Each structure stands twice: as structure tokens, then as C-alpha cells.
Amino acid sequence: MQKTYVLASKFALAAVCFAAHGASYSAAYNEADISGYRIGAQMALAKPALQKINPAYVFDEIKLSDGRVVGLSAVVKIVKQNMPTFYADQFVVLQNEAGVVWYAGRTQQIADKEKYVNMKTLRESLESKYGKSTHSEIMSMVWDYDANGKQYMSVKLGDYYGVSPCHTDGNSTDDLGDITGTHLSMWVPRKFSEKCGFAVNSRMSTGVGDSTMSLVSTYTVTMVNPKLRYDMAAIKAAKDAIEKKKLIDQEAQRGNKPQL
């Protein structure tokens, strides 16, 4: 495959301006997307969907050290001699044991300072898409929903921490074990509360030398559904279906006759 590298700035607000949704439960919880991609679909459908988002993506399976495939990474890298690799655009999806996507995230880094995104514009675009945020800080915004689909809203500064159903102390890829061969430019929640039903998280950083903190050079949007990750009924059903198909195939093979 020929690799064509495209700067993320061409897609500067694609991750947050694909469509405008209201703050209602049905919109944010059931229809929320990142650049048009929604979690809950089969992993097998992820690659063609992501190719539509950025045709320049180069794909790599995300594996644990034991060889199990847990996700897919789509990356646009800028590689220059004697310079660290620049990840201009990365989209990550992670699957449960039934092959259903429970996590999606996109990070975009803008190389050209002239194309940095205005912080106010980015934050307004995020709230236009996902509705009023549960909690907001200078460089982050979150939208948290409980297990019944009701959005949690912070009453005052500091009320979010330890109270929101989806807040967790520390975000890390450690929960996935030893991921090999793939650079992940975004965090994955380490653990979840049983009260958390769905969460959208956005983080941003300003460009080097921007003392006003008004120009964004990197921004990330992630989406997670803990129920999908730990839906043991769905996982068992998928495994049973696989075993049933194996038995059917084995029985069919027993009936094969040699072509003499």
C-alpha cells in the first residue's frame, strides 16, 4: 500500500463538527459520534468506515503481548529525517470479546502554526455537537451519563470529582495489558464505575509559545461505553455462535466425498 501523508489541519474540525446534536439523552447517548463514527458496531466494519474519514490512514492491529487483537489503529504519520515521528492524525477503536467496539478516540495534531484552531471556536463546536458538558476545565471537557442514560451535570467547581458516575482516578492503557507494536496517542480509562453508562471526553493543548492559551495545536475526542466492554451476555452469545458454526462446518466436512 502506498502511503500518502496528509496534515490533520485539513480535517481540522472534522472530529467535532461532523453533525450538530442537541443535549438530549437520545442524541448524545444513542447518536453521538466522532467524525461520523459511532461505537457499538462490529469491529469488522471499522476499517472501511475510518477510510472514509481520512483516506490517508495507515492501519495496524492493536494486540496484547499474548497475540490477542483488541483493536485497530488508523494513523497518518509525518516522518522526517533526524526528527521524532509526528502523529498528525490517529483514530483508535477497541473491541470486546464479542468483536463489538466499546471505545473510539481520535487525536489530531496540527503541524502548521498558521492553521491552529481557536480555543473558543473548538469549545463552542464541541458543545454544539455533544450538548452542554458535564464538566469543563481549561484544557478538557466531559459529557457523562449514568447507567440509565441520564446526563450528570456538575453543580459547582469540584463537584464533578468523585461524584460523577464516569469519573475515574487515572486514565491509562495499563488496563489493556501489554500493548505491542502500536503507538497510542490517547488514554484509555483504567476502570469504570457500575453507575457509568456512557462518556465523551475531550482534551486539548495549545501550541508552543502561545502565552494566551487561545490557539489549539492538538485535540482529542474519545468515547466509551463500559456496558459494551463488560457485556458478558453478548460476549457469551458471540462465543456460542462461533462454536456452533465450527460444529456445523465440521459436520459438513464429514459429508464431503473425494472427487476421484
pLDDT (mean) for 70-81:
83
CA distance 138 to 240: 47
CA distance 249 to 110: 50
The three cell numbers of residue 2 are: 502506498
Q: Which residues pair with 142 in a beta bridge?
A: 135, 201
Greatest distance between any 2 Cα atoms in the chain:
81
pLDDT digits 0-9 by tens, 118-161: 999 999 999 999 999 988 888 889 898 888 888 888 766 566 66
Residue-level pLDDT at 232: 67
Q: Is the pLDDT of residue 15 over 50?
A: no
Average pLDDT for the chain: 75
Residue-level pLDDT at 186: 74
Residue-level pLDDT at 183: 60
Residue-level pLDDT at 166: 80
Backbone angles phi, psi at 84, to 5 degrees: -65, 150
pLDDT (mean) for 151-179:
61
Q: Which residues 6+ apart lie within 8 Å of 194 measured at CB?
A: 147
Domain ranges of the chain: 8-251
Coil, helix or strand at residue 250? helix
CA distance 40 to 198: 11
- pLDDT-wise least confident of 67-76, 169-178, 246-255: 169-178
pLDDT digits 0-9 by tens, 104-129: 999 998 888 888 899 999 999 999 99
The three cell numbers of residue 187 are: 488514554
Q: Is the pLDDT of residue 173 over 80?
A: no
pLDDT digits 0-9 by tens, 193-229: 778 888 899 999 887 666 677 889 889 999 988 888 8
Q: Is the pLDDT of residue 178 over 50?
A: no
Residue-level pLDDT at 40: 86
Q: Is the pLDDT of residue 253 over 70?
A: yes
The three cell numbers of residue 138 are: 481549561
Rounded alpha-carbon distances, angstroms, from residue 161 to 66, 103, 132, 134: 35, 22, 18, 11
Is the pTM higher than 0.85? no
